[in-house]
């Protein structure tokens, strides 16, 4: 059957019913994609992509894997509009729902159309087409971005219910953090979801060692932490965390190992969720190192796709965040290179300080962690937040009210990294594709377009 006619007919059968989205008319793909790996660096502004590559070039002596794909002309590339149904600035729930459901929805909801209609998530469509489906993330497995490919929910915050929905839907790989949503000791309803998954035939892993020992012959639930998984730089510089917690690339490799055994193919979403959290905190070490961890997951996906020859790999983000970037100055190069001396995230550093920490101790802590010696005035401004802890900064994922913004402004004097805010932004973002179906990617697209691109590339009709 002609592939253009296959997809068009399956879509037009529902035309006028309100059940399909505003689809672009793609040209026919030359080859069917058996598998799809969709990678999302959550909250990745273009400056984040650039600085990760700059760090690779200046410190590691190579390009990032994402940028190398561009240099080798192996990937299609486009700019993508990310706005949601009710705002030019999307949140992660609406952003993922655009990919997942093919429609723009209101911020905060998962695949619920503004008129109340439920949009079937794309991984459900692929499951109905006979493929295995999985999600991998560095935040909670039930967070907005992975959930947007799998479930419908009026609220992205219904994470305990989302954990149950994954099991009901038979999502074949569920991997990330979020023990509190699976553990009977922490769930309000006292349901033991670990036992429930195991009863349905899932292997359950709760550590890096257990992940490395899975048989890869059964569905997999792998939850490694309460809340999000530790930042990549904190994991890298903590032997215990490195021993017990897998990297995003290791999780991606295990997920592919489980899913790729299925003869009818698979679909997998991989999210670098803490890139977004670091941007919210204006935390440059957290940002760059988690983007690099995401970049290593890209390598895992591309290595598999190059060998497999039947896998479409898509790399993008759901939205920008804080628009970080290198700024002009006589020591801009030297300042950027100083980031290689950072040993921990700002989150880790600022949570070491209490109202009883002395100025001298703060100075020593910053020098040991970031490699520079703050001035007395800078130390005084930091200490003032802890003298009256109630006054600490607000901000998403700033649960302990530490002075993220203040400290990033101090760091800027030494590393020449600027930020426009601590919030999401509306700018166009990068999207790239490799493998069969990558030629369908247009130079400019809406986030909803990727939903239909995936369906066409794999010849899965939009008619369930």
143 annotated to a ligand binding site? yes
Backbone Cα Rg of the chain: 22
Q: Say whether 311 sits in a helix, a strand or coil.
A: strand
319 annotated to a ligand binding site? yes
Sign (positive/negative) of CA torsion 403, 404, 409, 415? positive
CA 321 to chain centre: 12
Element containing residue 167 per DSSP (H, E): helix 159-169
Please list, in sequence order, all residues whose beta carbon lies within 8 angstroms of the beta carbon of residue 111, skipping any fewer than 6 positions away: 97, 100, 101, 103, 105, 118, 119, 120, 121, 148, 151, 152, 153
Give yes or no for a contact between 223 and 178, defined as CB atoms under 8 angstroms apart: yes
Measured distance CA(123)–CA(171) in Å, rounded: 8
Residue of 81, 216, 90 lying closest to 148 (CA atoms): 90
Provide the 10 A C-beta neighbour count for residue 346. Answer: 25
Q: Say whether 247 sits in a helix, a strand or coil.
A: coil
Is position 41 annotated as part of the catalytic site?
A: no
Q: Which two tokens stand for residue 293?
A: 């961890």
424 annotated to a ligand binding site? yes
CA angle (422 as vertex; 355, 136 as ends), nearest 5: 100
Look at the block and give the residue holding tokens 């009710």.
86
Measured distance CA(223)–CA(64) in Å, rounded: 28
First-residue to last-residue Cα distance in the chain? 20
Catalytic residue among 84, 92, 254, 438: 92
Please list, in sequence order, all residues whose beta carbon lies within 8 angstroms of the beta carbon of residue 391, skipping any fewer than 6 positions away: 385
Please list, in sequence order, all residues whose beta carbon lies within 8 angstroms of the beta carbon of residue 27, skipping any fewer than 6 positions away: 4, 439, 440
The strand pairing partners of 35, in sequence order, are: 311
Give yes or no for a contact between 288 and 155, defined as CB atoms under 8 angstroms apart: no
271 annotated to a ligand binding site? yes
318 annotated to a ligand binding site? yes
42 annotated to a ligand binding site? yes
Measured distance CA(249)–CA(296) in Å, rounded: 6
- Residues annotated in a binding site for Mg(2+): 42, 143, 145, 271
Positions annotated as catalytic residues are: 92
Q: Provide the annotated binding site for Zn(2+).
A: 42, 276, 280, 318-319, 424
């Amino acid at each position: 059957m002609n592939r253009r006619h296959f997809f068009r007919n399956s879509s037009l059968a529902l035309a006028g019913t309100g059940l399909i989205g505003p689809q672009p008319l793609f040209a026919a793909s030359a080859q069917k994609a058996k598998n799809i790996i969709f990678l999302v660096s959550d909250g990745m502004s273009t400056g984040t992509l650039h600085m990760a590559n700059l760090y690779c070039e200046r410190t590691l002596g190579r390009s990032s894997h994402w940028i190398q794909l561009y240099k080798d002309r192996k990937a299609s590339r486009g700019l993508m509009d990310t706005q949601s149904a009710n705002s030019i600035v999307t949140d992660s729930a609406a952003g993922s729902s655009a990919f997942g459901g093919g429609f723009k929805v209101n911020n905060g909801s998962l695949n619920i159309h503004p008129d109340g209609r439920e949009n079937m998530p794309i991984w459900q469509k692929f499951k109905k087409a006979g493929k295995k489906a999985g999600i991998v993330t560095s935040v909670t497995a039930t967070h907005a971005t992975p959930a947007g490919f799998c479930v419908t929910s009026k609220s992205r915050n219904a994470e305990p219910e989302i954990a149950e929905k994954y099991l009901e839907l038979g999502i074949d790989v569920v991997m990330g953090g979020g023990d509190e949503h699976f553990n009977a000791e922490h769930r309000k309803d006292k349901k033991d979801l670990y036992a429930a998954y195991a009863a349905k035939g899932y292997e359950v892993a709760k550590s890096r060692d257990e992940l490395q020992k899975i048989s890869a012959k059964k569905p997999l639930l792998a939850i490694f932490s309460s809340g999000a998984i530790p930042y990549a730089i904190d994991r890298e510089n903590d032997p215990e965390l490195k021993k017990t917690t897998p990297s995003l690339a290791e999780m991606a490799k295990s997920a592919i190992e489980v899913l790729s055994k299925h003869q009818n193919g698979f679909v997998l979403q991989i999210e670098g969720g803490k890139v977004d959290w670091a941007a919210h905190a204006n935390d440059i070490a957290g940002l760059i190192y988690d983007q690099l961890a995401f970049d290593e997951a890209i390598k895992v996906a591309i290595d598999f796709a190059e060998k497999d020859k039947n896998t479409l790999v898509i790399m993008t983000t759901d939205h920008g965040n804080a628009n970080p970037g290198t700024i002009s100055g006589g020591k801009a190069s030297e300042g950027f290179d100083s980031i290689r001396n950072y040993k921990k995230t700002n989150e880790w550093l600022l949570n070491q300080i209490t109202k009883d920490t002395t100025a001298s101790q703060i100075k020593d802590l910053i020098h040991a962690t970031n490699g520079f010696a703050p001035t007395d005035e800078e130390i005084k401004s930091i200490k003032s937040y802890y003298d009256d802890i109630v006054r600490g900064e607000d901000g998403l994922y700033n649960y302990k009210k530490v002075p993220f913004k203040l400290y990033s402004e101090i760091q800027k004097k030494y590393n020449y990294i600027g930020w426009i805010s601590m919030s999401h932004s509306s700018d166009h973002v990068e999207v790239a594709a490799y493998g069969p179906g990558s030629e369908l990617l247009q130079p400019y697209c809406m986030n909803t377009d990727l939903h239909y691109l995936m369906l066409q590339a794999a010849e899965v009709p939009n008619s369930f």
